[in-house]
Structure 1
């Protein structure tokens, strides 16, 4: 499964067309990372590894679900590390979104017949623990569509979980999340 997930990540990034020069440079950097690291999707790959996330939106209600991350202290989209059972990068993002939101029936936004990334974000974290050096998450971000009126169920991976109107994001949200929400909103109307 490791080889097929790696191949899928390369395929997903290689076939993704990006209009923004900054996103294009990240896409190329991610592909270079995967070319140099056969284990580049796993938490054990240091100093950087690919992660997968999805911003969960309810387009019918014009709202986005965010989690208050216990380690970071910010409201973020759902996401995390790839696992050996993930068949694809998109499946990893959907698994994380489903686990952390408690919402069954989430569907990733698709284009051309399959799920596609919508944004890349490279950021420093301490996923190995407070006493360990920071490493880099090379996050591949998707949009997950929630069924209309979906109710979230908080998991033990979150301090809090709440729906927010697109224009009413909490103060403790970083620029990357705000950009992701704006992008998702533009894609689904």
Structure 2
């Protein structure tokens, strides 16, 4: 079921080089693409958490990667979909137990190679979005060194290459999903 759900969600995205590469990868590898032990490259789910006004983003300082990034991780056997995995990961890594995705719609695709400290060589990350109040109680998981809210226009220096542009595209997609107007 998660594989069919992912393929349907990918096909619903506008045509792009990234979308087509994801479709080729998932069709070629099949269900193994969704398993951590399915090969050196596999799909992961992530969640960008915004304030309700979409002017702040909650990021974690990734212990292995040593950078600030959205929440996310591997798909587990109990996850009904990649969206469910992204929501679970965001809940676990932020301590926000009632965090809910704005929509099961994909808002980001980011394939990235991994280096030192990782047992796999690449993640085909599928991103989703959520929003919550900035005063919600947070707790740092074992996978992170810190979690913190940042104004969208004042991100920390230690973010992955291309993250700022991705974040802006994700923010606009999240605003569209929520029906919020921005100036």
Q: What number of residue pairs does the alignment pair up? A: 174
User: Alpha carbons of 1:89 and 1:61: their partners in 2 closer, same or farther (altered >3 Å)?
Assistant: closer
1:15 counterpart (12, 22, 26) = 12
Which runs of 5 or more structure 1 residues have no equivalent in the other structure? 19-23
Contact 1:121/1:140 (8 A) holds in 2: yes
> Which of residues 27, 35, 40 in structure 1 aligns to 2:27?
35
Q: Identify the residue that residue 179 of structure 2 maps to in structure 1.
A: none
Measure, in 2, the Cα distance between the counterparts of 1:102 and 1:125. 26
Q: How many angstroms apart in 2 are the aligned matches of 1:78 and 1:120?
A: 14
SS in 1 for 2:141: coil
Which structure 2 residue ranges, 5 or more long, are not aligned?
A: 176-181
Pick from 118, 122, 125 the counterpart of residue 111 of structure 2: 122
Instruction: Measure, in 1, the Cα distance between the counterparts of 2:23 and 2:138.
Output: 34
Alpha-carbon distance in 2 for matches of 1:183, 1:7? 26
TM-score computed with the length of structure 1 as normaliser: 0.84
Q: Identify if the C-alpha distance between structure 1 residues 100 and 10 changes in structure 2 by more than 3 Å, giving closer, same or farther.
A: same
Work out the CA distance in 1 between the residues paired with 2:75 and 2:90.
Answer: 12
| Structure 1 residues 90 and 61: alpha-carbon distance in aligned structure 2, compared to 1, 3 A threshold | closer
Aligned-partner Cα distance in 2 for 1:14–1:116: 11
Shift, 1:12, TM fit: 1.1
Q: CA deviation at 1:47?
A: 3.0
Report the aligned-residue RMSD.
1.9
